[in-house]
């Protein structure tokens, strides 16, 4: 097995295969890595209810096998979870997770040689609080009655405990301010080729639909991970058919185009009153620091340049804290949306950061989190 | 989760709680400041600032009485910070640092405010505004001074050995002087023999001495000196460490013979069947694949040029001492030295690619260096200057000056020596063959040093013609191979069409290919002309910005032989200060890491051009994180890493964030808005 | 005496609002350039307050923003010409860091005249003076910075 090869595979464990949305391949691959000591730990989500789950780091194979099941409304980012722990670890990761992990790798907080990143195709995730509200307002359902959810053909479908399905198009939901998180809408990393192995259901065809996962190997580590799972008897694979490969590429293309369209929609240039715009958006900031603490590309501790020179007493027209963060994130922001999620006063921080990051990253032709390239500022060589 | 609410200004609160007692000394600099700035008003205002215990206005603060006033007020008011508002810190900062240090204050407790160059001199007709600006500038200085911290310049031990890179005349002189002062010297030369460019010259101006006759004895002297270890046919491949303690890796290219056994008898060359152009003679004539570089070579040993060797093994059979070893490998020596002298030399401008004045197109256009070898009695023609097309001795010789110099298309600088080279070359041929006719075509004739103008006059007396003008057209006569030149005589104001048997181009001085490697190894700066930079063009001409590294010879700009030799000696003298004291004082202003704040992200590492930041080998305390560490002896105190550090763990002493922010904040003052 | 210097008395009488400009200068080049301007008596508006750092590489965006927030009508980032850095390539790093700064400032709605980068050698006194004169004229046209806090001069 080697880089850029593609397969369709599923778990050999009956219960995992049934519980998993797409044949339980990812879960089994992670479990096999742990079982065969390829890694010492695995990160999985432990479900609390349909809308909430907590990521845990475990070395228990059974805990991994029991974790199967997908939730669209758990947007947490794993990069900071495994940072500075010096773990030999395998973990599932959405595109933004992968980017966060790579950025932590560049900042020496994660050893990428010891980190097996199982990328998950991602069309977007939802905020749990928004999801509950949406169920009540749009679907007229009680959140407690919901049993499962699924995205199919542009529709978000909820299954209730009575076995019924309730579908509304995502476009309609998002028009009303529900649906995916804003940063997911304009995200263009749908198939995480920056991970070691990219997994998802796009490209699974025929009888296998819903029962298998389509994988693309992105690195030697990815090949090792899959081969290990096959050798351990956890996973079976076969070559995908041409139709599947084409289908996957098409979905990827459509999703990326949609992302770009959203980007244009969200980041309408502000011709006048830019300063007033930022001041207005930030006026309710309570200086809690949550946005920095959660940021997967920030590797600073409690003390950092953004916090140390910021004082509530200053009669400044802009926050020193935010200004320094705007600058520090200009080449680092991966647009994961975590800061907006955690802000207790609902400042759309990701949108603000991207306002600065978009032009800088475009000008410098530098996309953080996509590869190991260091920001241009750190690449100045002697005699340039 | 970190809560930034109500964070104390940790950065801005100085750690020590000692009361800051500031004294402010405003200098009038005669009328230079006093004639514009109302110093009395300034002093009165500054006296109202918190922490300012005393202000004083002096006619000349730098004078003895001015300094005495500072010292007396330090005593009287028990001052612990001193602000001097006067000229530029570049002029008098050291003066006042010494002044307060005498009173037991740390010299870094001085804050110098520039109210002359940056204020009174540039606002001569805006006295009020200048006075207000002076108040602002001093207020900024006062607030900064309160946050200044004591610094100690640190000492590092110095290994009493030296490395000299390049064994041309400058490097040799440096090595000899250092060795004579009793220090062990490694002299590394990339060619198989020492001697450099001077060994190739025929005669040297203005005295027209035989070059090798005066250089040869010096080369032997170097070889005989017990304190000098010559490493010929060797190159410096790696330099690590800092002043006093450089670890250097030297690569020895294989000569394919045992230098201990070789006697330099050249029997091997006699039997070698391979002939290649002889580089020592600028490509004129040939040498063998195994050869002694030149008759006066030091070490007088053969070298086998493997690239052209056909492995016939004839040389091995001929060698009576059994020195030949075809399997010799590249070897390395690691040396530890306290100082490094770079005397890495130059090359002459190559007119071939641009075909300047037909060079490379027409046989009878040659360079001055080629002419030099033709003139040399040991050269390819036994000292007969002949023209390449037909090996006839030329009668009409034209010299073109400033080829590759003083020209926007090549190098804008003056190579300095070419005028004299041309004058000397014309003289020598004229003396040998009085029937010859010489025309020197020049832009300006430059003869600045002792005996040069006299030599120029002698040339004129001998009948050498000087024509001010640069050839605009150079063409070869296809039949005679003579060179036809069209040139404007700018003194006579007329176009001249001349015909020559031979044209000699005075090619300028340019950096050689190896200079980039040396620059990177030694972490030096390069000037716009491509040559290496000295620490200060006037006052530190042989020092570099890297402590313990010195530059001699043409590597730092065009020079003639006496200038290069003086620089060699100067380097030895400067280096001896370190070697003899056995210690070096390193800059007090450096970057410093606060390990409590550092997260080990390593973004600072690539920022440092001096590789002064290293990661600790073991994690800090119980954090499990290896922290960054600044090697003070390597740090030059630029502060670039400090800007890059996202956490603020890196600080530049004397230019700390809080110190700079104190200045920024005090540019402005809050004004009550009138109701 | 230069023509500018001779013309200065007339200019001085016009008065009016004087912007406050913070200029960060590196010790080896632009600070020396400002000194040379003094030595050459190249007259300039009294708008600028120079803050000396050892290398332009030390000019932290933190300081630049703080200057704006404190009330600077313009901030100047200056250093040695590219290739002439006293510390090998500190100014190359400044050049890239400045791109970030510039973009953030632009996005915030700070006019481009208010944040400028210039390479000035220690011998370029006249260039330094002209730079200050030009910037001051540009800022006088623009008026006070939108980030200037109330009541600050």
Q: Which residue, among A126, A100, A107, A122, has the nearest Cα to A188 in the 3D structure?
A: A122
Question: B609, C32: Cβ pair inside 8 Å?
Answer: no
Q: Which residue, among A139, A167, A131, has the nearest Cα to A341 in the 3D structure?
A: A131
Q: Residue B114: its chain C contacts at CB < 8 A?
A: 35, 50
- Select the CATH number that applies to the domain covering C18-142 from these four: 2.40.10, 2.60.40, 3.40.50, 1.10.12: 3.40.50
- Rounded distance between C-alpha atoms, residue B201 and residue B373, angstroms: 7
Tell me the nearest-neighbour CA distance from B567 into chain A, angstroms: 26
Interface probe for C, chosen from B32, B87, B114, B117 (most Cβ of C below 10 Å), is B117
Confidence of residue B15 (pLDDT cuts 50, 70, 90): low
Confidence of residue B671 (pLDDT cuts 50, 70, 90): low
Instruction: Check whether A379 has a pLDDT greater than 90.
Output: no
Residue A156 belongs to some domain of the structure: yes
Q: Which of B140, B589, B609 sits opposite C88 (nearest CB)?
A: B609
- Rounded distance between C-alpha atoms, residue B455 and residue B633, angstroms: 49
Instruction: Check whether C3 has a pLDDT greater than 80.
Output: no
Instruction: Specify the pairing of strand B591-593 against strand B650-652.
Output: antiparallel
Is the same domain home to A275 and A249?
Answer: no
| Percentage with pLDDT > 70 across chain C | 90
Q: Which residue, among A154, A123, A159, has the nearest Cα to A139 in the 3D structure?
A: A159
Residue A326 belongs to some domain of the structure: yes
Interface probe for C, chosen from B640, B651, B658, B661 (most Cβ of C below 10 Å), is B640
Residue A166 belongs to some domain of the structure: yes
- What's the burial of A191, exposed, middle or buried (CB within 10 Å: 0-12/13-18/19+)? buried
Whether C23 and B608 have beta carbons less than 8 Å apart is answered as: no
Looking at residue C15, its pLDDT comes to: 57
Burial code (b: 16+ CB inside 10 Å, e: under 16) for B233-248 equals: bbbbeebebbbbbbeb
Q: Residue A376: its chain C contacts at CB < 8 A?
A: 96
Residue A384 belongs to some domain of the structure: no
Q: Which residues on adjacent β-strands are paired with residue B365?
A: B503
Provide the token pair at A107. Answer: 């900042």
Instruction: Check whether B427 has a pLDDT greater than 60.
Output: yes
Q: Which A residues 104-163 touch C at CB under 8 Å?
A: none
Q: Residue B661: its chain C contacts at CB < 8 A?
A: 63, 66
Domain boundary among A148, A179, A210: A179
Domain around A320: 268-378
Q: Residue A108: its chain B contacts at CB < 8 A?
A: 600-602
Residue A16 belongs to some domain of the structure: yes
Looking at residue B599, its pLDDT comes to: 95
What is the three-class DSSP state of B540?
Answer: strand
Which DSSP string corresponds to B551-616? Answer: E-GGGGS---HHHHHHHHHHHHHHHHHHHHHTEEEE-S--EEE-TTT-----TTGGG-TT--EEE-
Q: Does C133 touch chain B (CB under 8 A)?
A: no
What's the mean pLDDT when you consider all of chain B?
93
Question: A305, B645: Cβ pair inside 8 Å?
Answer: yes
Q: Which residue, among B666, B643, C110, C66, has the nearest Cα to A323 in the 3D structure?
A: C66
- Rounded distance between C-alpha atoms, residue B631 and residue B627, angstroms: 13
pLDDT tens digit string along B479-497?
999 999 999 999 999 999 9
The mean per-residue pLDDT over the stretch B643-657 comes to 96
Q: Residue B118: its chain C contacts at CB < 8 A?
A: 34-35, 38, 50
Residue B26 to residues A255, A346, B454: CA-CA distances in angstroms?
69, 54, 55
- The CATH number assigned to the domain holding A132 equals 3.10.450
Q: Residue C56: its chain A contacts at CB < 8 A?
A: none
Is the same domain home to A211 and A294?
Answer: no
The model's pTM:
0.77
Confidence of residue A51 (pLDDT cuts 50, 70, 90): confident
pLDDT tens digit string along A90-145?
999 999 999 999 999 999 999 999 999 999 999 888 888 888 899 999 999 998 88
HSE-up of residue B516 (Cα within 13 Å, Cβ side): 4
Neighbouring chains of B at 3+ CB pairs under 8 Å are A, C
Q: Residue C69: its chain A contacts at CB < 8 A?
A: 314, 316-318, 320, 323
Tell me the nearest-neighbour CA distance from A148 into chain C, angstroms: 43
Is the same domain home to A272 and A255?
Answer: no
Looking at residue A384, its pLDDT comes to: 38
- Rounded distance between C-alpha atoms, residue B68 and residue B55, angstroms: 14
Neighbouring chains of A at 3+ CB pairs under 8 Å are B, C
Q: What is the 3 state secondary structure string of B65-89? A: HHHHHHHHHHHHHCCCEEEEEECCH
Burial code (b: 16+ CB inside 10 Å, e: under 16) for B486-518 equals: ebbeeeeeeeeebebbbbbbbbbbbbbebbeeb
Burial code (b: 16+ CB inside 10 Å, e: under 16) for B630-640 equals: bbbbbbbbbbb
Whether B189 and B167 have beta carbons less than 8 Å apart is answered as: yes
Provide the domain count of chain A.
3
Is the same domain home to A112 and A133?
Answer: no
Question: B664, C59: Cβ pair inside 8 Å?
Answer: no
- What's the burial of A37, exposed, middle or buried (CB within 10 Å: 0-12/13-18/19+)? exposed
Question: C69, A273: Cβ pair inside 8 Å?
Answer: no
Instruction: Check whether A148 has a pLDDT greater than 90.
Output: no
Angle between helices B211-224 and B169-180 (to 10 degrees): 40
Q: Which of B6, B7, B599 sits opposite A300 (nearest CB)?
A: B599
- Rounded distance between C-alpha atoms, residue B75 and residue B648, angstroms: 37
Tell me the nearest-neighbour CA distance from C136 into chain A, angstroms: 23
Q: Residue B10: its chain A contacts at CB < 8 A?
A: 303, 308
Neighbouring chains of C at 3+ CB pairs under 8 Å are A, B
Tell me the nearest-neighbour CA distance from A200 into chain C, angstroms: 37
φ, ψ of residue A18 in degrees (nearest 5): -70, -45
What is the three-class DSSP state of A334?
Answer: coil
Question: C100, A377: Cβ pair inside 8 Å?
Answer: yes
Interface probe for A, chosen from C103, C149, C152 (most Cβ of A below 10 Å), is C103
The mean per-residue pLDDT over the stretch B283-297 comes to 93
Is the same domain home to A72 and A200?
Answer: yes
How much is the ipTM here? 0.92
Tell me the nearest-neighbour CA distance from A94 into chain C, angstroms: 28
- Rounded distance between C-alpha atoms, residue A337 and residue A332, angstroms: 13
Whether B287 and B378 have beta carbons less than 8 Å apart is answered as: no
Residue that wins the pLDDT comparison between B128 and A75: B128
Residue B51 to residues B24, B133, B146: CA-CA distances in angstroms?
10, 20, 8
- Rounded distance between C-alpha atoms, residue C30 and residue A82, angstroms: 46
Instruction: Check whether A68 has a pLDDT greater than 90.
Output: no
Which DSSP string corresponds to B319-339? Answer: -TT--B-TT---EEEEEEESE
Q: Which residue of B has its CA nearest to C94?
A: B640
Is the same domain home to A26 and A113?
Answer: yes
Which ranges of B361-417 would DSSP assign to H, the alpha helix? 368-375
Is the same domain home to A198 and A170?
Answer: no
Q: Which of B121, B523, B673 sits opposite C41 (nearest CB)?
A: B121
Is the same domain home to A154 and A298?
Answer: no
pLDDT tens digit string along B309-360?
999 999 999 999 999 999 999 999 999 999 999 999 999 999 999 999 999 9
What is the three-class DSSP state of B291?
Answer: strand
Instruction: Check whether B13 has a pLDDT greater than 70.
Output: no
Q: Residue A330: its chain C contacts at CB < 8 A?
A: 100, 103-104
Whether A309 and B661 have beta carbons less than 8 Å apart is answered as: yes
The mean per-residue pLDDT over the stretch A242-269 comes to 94
Looking at residue C152, its pLDDT comes to: 86
Which residues make Cβ contacts (< 8 Å) with residue A250, sequence separation at least 6? none
Is the same domain home to A136 and A238?
Answer: no
Q: Residue B672: its chain C contacts at CB < 8 A?
A: 151
Residue A383 belongs to some domain of the structure: no
| Percentage with pLDDT > 70 across chain B | 97
Looking at residue A48, its pLDDT comes to: 79
Which ranges of chain A would DSSP assign to H, the alpha helix? 14-19, 25-35, 61-65, 79-82, 95-106, 128-137, 170-175, 182-185, 220-231, 242-266, 274-282, 290-294, 305-308, 320-328, 338-342, 349-363
Instruction: Check whether B454 has a pLDDT greater than 50.
Output: yes
Report residue B589 CA to chain centroid gap: 23
Q: What is the 3 state secondary structure string of B221-282? A: HHHHCCCEEEECCEEEEEEEEECCEEEEEEEECCCCECCCCCCCCCHHHHHCCCEEECHHHC
The vertex-A328 CA angle with A323 and A330, nearest 5°, equals: 95
Instruction: Check whether B674 has a pLDDT greater than 90.
Output: no
Question: B122, C32: Cβ pair inside 8 Å?
Answer: no
User: Count of CB contacts below 8 A, A vs C?
Assistant: 82
Q: Residue A327: its chain C contacts at CB < 8 A?
A: 61, 65, 100-101, 104
Q: Residue B525: its chain C contacts at CB < 8 A?
A: 84-86, 88
Q: Does B530 touch chain A (CB under 8 A)?
A: no
Is the same domain home to A117 and A132?
Answer: no
Q: Return the minimum-mean-pLDDT range out of B362-366, B579-583, B607-611, C40-44.
A: B607-611
Sheet containing strand C74-79, edge to edge, reads: C48-53, C21-26, C74-79, C115-119
Domain-by-domain residue ranges, chain C? 18-142
The end-to-end CA distance of chain C, in Å, is 33
Is the same domain home to A90 and A64?
Answer: yes
Which DSSP string corresponds to B1-23? Answer: ----TT---TTTS-S--PPP-EE
Q: Which residue, among A244, A151, A201, A202, has the nearest Cα to A26 in the 3D structure?
A: A201
φ, ψ of residue A140 in degrees (nearest 5): 55, 45
Residue A207 belongs to some domain of the structure: yes
Confidence of residue B10 (pLDDT cuts 50, 70, 90): very low
Which residues make Cβ contacts (< 8 Å) with residue A272, sequence separation at least 6? none
Provide the token pair at B55. Answer: 């202000």
The mean per-residue pLDDT over the stretch C129-150 comes to 95
Q: Does C127 touch chain B (CB under 8 A)?
A: no
DSSP-derived secondary structure letter, B120 = I
Residue B170 to residues A76, B194, B447, B545: CA-CA distances in angstroms?
67, 11, 22, 20
Question: C109, A382: Cβ pair inside 8 Å?
Answer: no
Looking at residue B655, its pLDDT comes to: 97
Is the same domain home to A138 and A78?
Answer: no
Confidence of residue A47 (pLDDT cuts 50, 70, 90): confident
Q: Which C residues 87-126 touch B at CB under 8 Å?
A: 87-90, 93, 97
Element (H, E) at B465: strand B465-468
Confidence of residue B149 (pLDDT cuts 50, 70, 90): very high
Provide the token pair at B188. Answer: 């590394």
Sheet containing strand B331-337, edge to edge, reads: B234-242, B245-252, B331-337
- Rounded distance between C-alpha atoms, residue B593 and residue A324, angstroms: 20
């Amino acid at each position: 097995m080697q880089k850029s090869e593609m397969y369709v595979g599923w778990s050999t464990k009956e219960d995992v295969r049934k519980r998993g949305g797409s044949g339980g391949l990812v879960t089994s691959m992670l479990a096999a890595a742990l079982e065969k000591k390829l890694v010492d730990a695995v990160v999985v989500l432990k479900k609390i209810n349909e809308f909430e789950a907590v990521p845990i780091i475990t070395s228990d194979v059974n805990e991994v096998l029991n974790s199967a099941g997908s939730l669209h409304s758990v947007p947490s980012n794993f990069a900071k979870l495994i940072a500075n722990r010096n773990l030999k670890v395998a973990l599932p990761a959405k595109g933004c997770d992968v980017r966060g992990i790579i950025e932590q790798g560049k900042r020496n907080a994660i050893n990428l040689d010891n980190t097996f990143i199982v990328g998950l195709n991602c069309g977007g995730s939802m905020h749990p609080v928004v999801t509950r509200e949406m169920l009540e307002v749009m679907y007229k359902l009680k959140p407690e009655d919901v049993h499962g959810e699924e995205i199919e053909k542009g529709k978000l479908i909820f299954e209730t405990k009575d076995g019924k399905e309730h579908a509304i198009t995502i476009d309609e939901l998002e028009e009303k301010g529900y649906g995916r998180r804003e940063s997911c809408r304009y995200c263009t990393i749908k198939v995480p080729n920056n991970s070691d192995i990219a997994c998802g259901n796009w490209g699974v065809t025929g009888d296998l639909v819903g029962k298998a996962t389509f994988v693309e190997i992105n690195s030697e580590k990815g090949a090792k991970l899959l081969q290990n799972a096959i050798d351990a008897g956890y996973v079976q694979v076969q070559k995908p058919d041409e139709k599947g490969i084409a289908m996957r590429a098409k979905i990827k293309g459509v999703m990326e185009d949609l992302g770009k369209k959203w980007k244009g929609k969200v980041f309408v240039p502000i011709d006048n009153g830019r300063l007033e715009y930022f001041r207005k958006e930030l006026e309710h900031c309570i200086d809690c620091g949550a946005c920095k603490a959660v940021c997967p590309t920030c590797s600073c501790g409690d003390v950092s340049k953004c916090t140390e020179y910021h004082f509530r007493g200053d009669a400044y027209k802009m926050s020193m804290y935010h200004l320094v963060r705007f600058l520090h994130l200009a080449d680092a922001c991966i647009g994961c949306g975590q800061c907006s999620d955690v802000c207790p006063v609902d400042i759309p921080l990701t949108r603000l950061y991207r306002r600065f990051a978009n032009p800088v990253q475009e000008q410098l032709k530098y996309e953080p989190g996509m590869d190991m390239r260091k920001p241009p500022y750190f690449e100045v060589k002697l005699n340039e | 989760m970190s809560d930034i609410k109500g964070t104390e200004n940790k950065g801005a609160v100085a750690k020590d709680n000692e009361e800051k007692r500031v004294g402010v000394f405003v200098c009038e600099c005669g009328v230079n400041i006093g004639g514009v700035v109302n110093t009395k008003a300034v002093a009165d205002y500054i006296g109202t600032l918190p922490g300012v215990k005393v202000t004083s206005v002096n006619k000349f603060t730098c004078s003895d009485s001015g300094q005495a006033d500072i010292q007396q007020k330090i005593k009287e008011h028990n001052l612990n910070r001193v602000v001097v508002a006067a000229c530029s810190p570049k002029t008098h900062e050291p003066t006042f640092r010494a002044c307060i240090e005498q009173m037991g204050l740390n010299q870094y407790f001085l804050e110098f405010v520039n109210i002359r160059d940056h204020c009174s001199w540039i606002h001569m007709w805006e006295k009020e505004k200048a006075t207000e600006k002076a108040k602002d500038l001093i207020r900024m200085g006062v607030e900064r001074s309160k946050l200044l911290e004591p610094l100690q310049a640190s000492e590092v031990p110095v290994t009493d050995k030296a490395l000299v890179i390049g064994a041309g005349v400058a490097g040799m002189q440096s090595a000899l002087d250092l060795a004579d002062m009793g220090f062990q010297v490694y002299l590394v030369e990339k060619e198989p023999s020492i001697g450099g460019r001077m060994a190739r010259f025929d005669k040297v101006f203005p005295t027209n001495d035989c070059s090798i006759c005066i250089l040869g004895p010096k080369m032997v002297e170097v070889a005989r000196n017990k304190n000098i270890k010559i490493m010929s046919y060797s190159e410096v491949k790696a330099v690590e460490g800092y002043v006093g303690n450089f670890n250097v890796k030297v690569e020895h290219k294989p000569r394919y013979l045992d230098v201990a056994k070789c006697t330099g008898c050249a029997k091997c060359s006699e039997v070698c069947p391979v002939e290649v152009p002889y580089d020592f003679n600028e490509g004129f004539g040939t040498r063998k694949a195994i050869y002694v570089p030149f008759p006066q070579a030091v070490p007088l040993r053969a070298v086998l040029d493997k690239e052209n060797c056909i492995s016939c093994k004839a040389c091995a059979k001929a060698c009576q001492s059994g020195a030949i070893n075809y399997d010799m490998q590249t070897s390395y020596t690691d040396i530890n030295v306290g100082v490094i002298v770079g005397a890495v030399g130059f090359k002459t401008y190559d007119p071939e690619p641009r075909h300047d004045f037909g060079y490379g197109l027409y046989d009878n256009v040659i360079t001055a260096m080629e002419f030099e070898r033709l003139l040399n009695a040991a050269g390819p023609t036994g000292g007969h200057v002949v023209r390449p097309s037909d090996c006839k001795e030329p009668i009409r010789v034209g010299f073109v000056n400033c080829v590759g110099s003083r020209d926007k298309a090549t190098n804008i600088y003056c190579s300095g020596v070419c005028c004299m080279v041309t004058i000397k070359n014309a003289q020598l041929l004229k003396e040998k063959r009085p029937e010859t006719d010489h025309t020197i075509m020049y832009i300006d004739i430059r003869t600045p040093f002792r005996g040069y103008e006299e030599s120029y006059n002698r040339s004129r007396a001998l009948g050498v013609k000087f024509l001010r003008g640069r050839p605009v057209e150079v063409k070869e006569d296809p039949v005679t191979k003579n060179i036809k030149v069209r040139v404007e005589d700018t003194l006579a104001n007329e176009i001249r069409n001349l015909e020559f048997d031979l044209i000699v181009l005075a090619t300028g001085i340019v950096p050689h290919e190896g200079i980039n490697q040396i620059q990177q190894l030694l972490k030096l700066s390069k000037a716009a002309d491509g040559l290496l930079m000295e620490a200060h063009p006037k006052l530190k001409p042989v020092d570099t910005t890297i402590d313990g590294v010195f530059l001699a010879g043409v590597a730092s700009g065009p020079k003639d032989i006496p200038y290069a030799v003086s620089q060699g000696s100067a380097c030895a003298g400067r280096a001896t200060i370190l070697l003899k004291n056995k210690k070096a004082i390193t800059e007090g202003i450096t970057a410093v890491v606060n390990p409590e704040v550092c997260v080990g992200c390593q973004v600072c590492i690539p920022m440092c051009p001096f590789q002064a930041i290293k990661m600790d080998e073991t994690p800090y305390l119980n954090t499990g994180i290896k922290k960054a560490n600044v090697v003070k002896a390597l740090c030059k105190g630029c502060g670039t890493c400090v800007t890059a550090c996202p956490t603020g763990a890196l600080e530049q002493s004397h230019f700390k964030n809080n110190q700079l922010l104190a200045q920024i904040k005090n540019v402005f003052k809050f004004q009550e808005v009138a109701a | 005496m230069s023509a500018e210097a001779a013309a200065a008395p007339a200019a001085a009488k016009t008065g009016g609002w004087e912007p406050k400009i913070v200029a960060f200068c590196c010790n080896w080049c632009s600070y020396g350039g400002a000194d040379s301007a003094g030595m050459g008596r190249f007259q300039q508006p009294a708008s600028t307050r120079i803050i000396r750092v050892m290398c332009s590489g030390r000019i932290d965006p933190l300081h630049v923003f703080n200057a704006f927030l404190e009330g600077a009508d313009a901030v100047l980032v200056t250093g040695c010409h590219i290739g002439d850095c006293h510390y090998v390539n500190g100014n190359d790093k400044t050049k890239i860091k400045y791109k970030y700064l510039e973009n953030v400032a632009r996005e915030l709605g700070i006019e481009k005249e208010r944040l400028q980068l210039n390479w000035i050698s220690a011998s370029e006194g006249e260039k330094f003076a002209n730079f200050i004169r030009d910037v001051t004229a540009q800022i006088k046209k623009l008026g006070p910075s939108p980030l200037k806090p109330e009541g600050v001069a």
